[in-house]
């Protein structure tokens, strides 16, 4: 039995965590949770004002935070983001790739080339750029954690979201490739696969009664989740408790992917 059996913890004290798409929704929830767990957090998103609002909340709660407006689809901005994070906090231990976009809604054959380009630029290339920029700093510190926020849309087609689905499927494979290639550097790479989460990003789905009701009927738990319900898994994957887990994609979807519709048997 390993002597470390009882020492695993989700405490992130003295860790440095970089979270993209951190100005709202899932990214914000994870950033605040990591700060509460003791990590020094670096927040990245495109809009400075929204980003600074999150940073101020973390500061008021006693956390150490750095907010840097960044477009993750632009590699030069990502490199500058990581360089400043390292300059300020000394390194990077945890990366949460969460920034995403979905400019096209409708049949996939109506998507314009610009829709494909923008969605891949942020949802896939952005994840790659941040992982690439963080890698040498994680390696220098003896290891690290990369957590990619994927989606059930990468596992099951969603009406009107074809381009987004394709990019999220790419995120799942990117997770496996990075996990295989970075394992020798003691860097674990895993994906969280959220179902329908009540965020601003998905507002049209839960504010439109017909869409909401149709979606909820497909979920065994009969509800959408709140962003805070991803925190436990995000803490686990960022901590030493997940040191022997890499290349996994963990659904947190209320049972949607099992495709089971409860019915009364009597």
Instruction: Select from 86, 87, 74, 24 the least CA-distant residue to 51.
Output: 24
Question: In angstroms, rounded to a whole number, what is the distance separating the alpha carbons of residues 212 and 210?
Answer: 5
9 against 225, higher pLDDT = 225
Q: 């950033």: which residue's tokens? A: 31
pLDDT of residue 42: 98
Question: In angstroms, rounded to a whole number, what is the distance separating the alpha carbons of residues 146 and 17?
Answer: 10
pLDDT of residue 221: 67
pLDDT of residue 236: 97
29 against 3, higher pLDDT = 29
> Would residue 164 show up in a list of annotated catalytic residues for this protein?
yes
Catalytic residue among 34, 129, 164, 260: 164
| 251 DSSP β-pair partners | 193
Residue 175 CA, chain-centre distance (Å), reads 12
Residue 263 pLDDT > 70: no
pLDDT of residue 1: 40
CATH number attached to the domain at 16-254: 3.40.50.720
C-alpha to C-alpha distances, 246 to 61, 151, 189, nearest whole angstrom: 32, 18, 5
C-alpha to C-alpha distances, 72 to 4, 9, 49, 162, 260, nearest whole angstrom: 37, 31, 17, 22, 37
């Amino acid at each position: 039995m390993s002597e470390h059996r009882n020492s695993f913890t989700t405490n992130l004290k003295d860790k440095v965590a970089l979270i993209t798409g951190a100005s709202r929704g899932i990214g914000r929830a994870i950033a605040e949770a990591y700060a509460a767990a003791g990590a020094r957090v670096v927040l990245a998103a495109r809009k400075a004002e929204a980003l600074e609002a999150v940073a101020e909340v973390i500061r008021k709660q006693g956390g150490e935070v750095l907010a840097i407006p960044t477009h993750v689809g632009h590699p030069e901005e990502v490199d500058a983001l990581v360089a400043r994070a390292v300059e300020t906090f000394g390194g990077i231990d945890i990366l949460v790739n969460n920034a995403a976009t979905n400019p096209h809604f409708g049949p996939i054959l109506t998507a314009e080339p610009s829709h494909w380009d923008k969605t891949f630029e942020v949802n896939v290339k952005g994840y790659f750029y941040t992982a690439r920029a963080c890698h040498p700093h994680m390696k220098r510190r003896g290891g690290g954690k990369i957590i990619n926020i994927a989606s059930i849309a990468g596992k099951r087609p969603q009406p009107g979201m074809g381009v987004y689905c394709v990019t999220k499927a790419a995120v799942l494979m990117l997770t496996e490739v990075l996990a295989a290639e970075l394992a020798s550097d003691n860097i674990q790479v895993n994906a969280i696969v959220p179902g329908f989460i009540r965020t601003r990003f998905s507002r049209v789905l839960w504010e439109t009664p017909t869409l909401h009701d149709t979606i909820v009927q497909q979920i065994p738990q009969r509800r959408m989740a709140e962003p805070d319900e991803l925190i436990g898994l995000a803490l686990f994957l960022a901590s030493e408790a997940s040191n022997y887990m890499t290349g996994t994609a963990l659904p947190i979807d209320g049972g949607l992917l099992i495709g089971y519709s409860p019915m009364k048997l009597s």
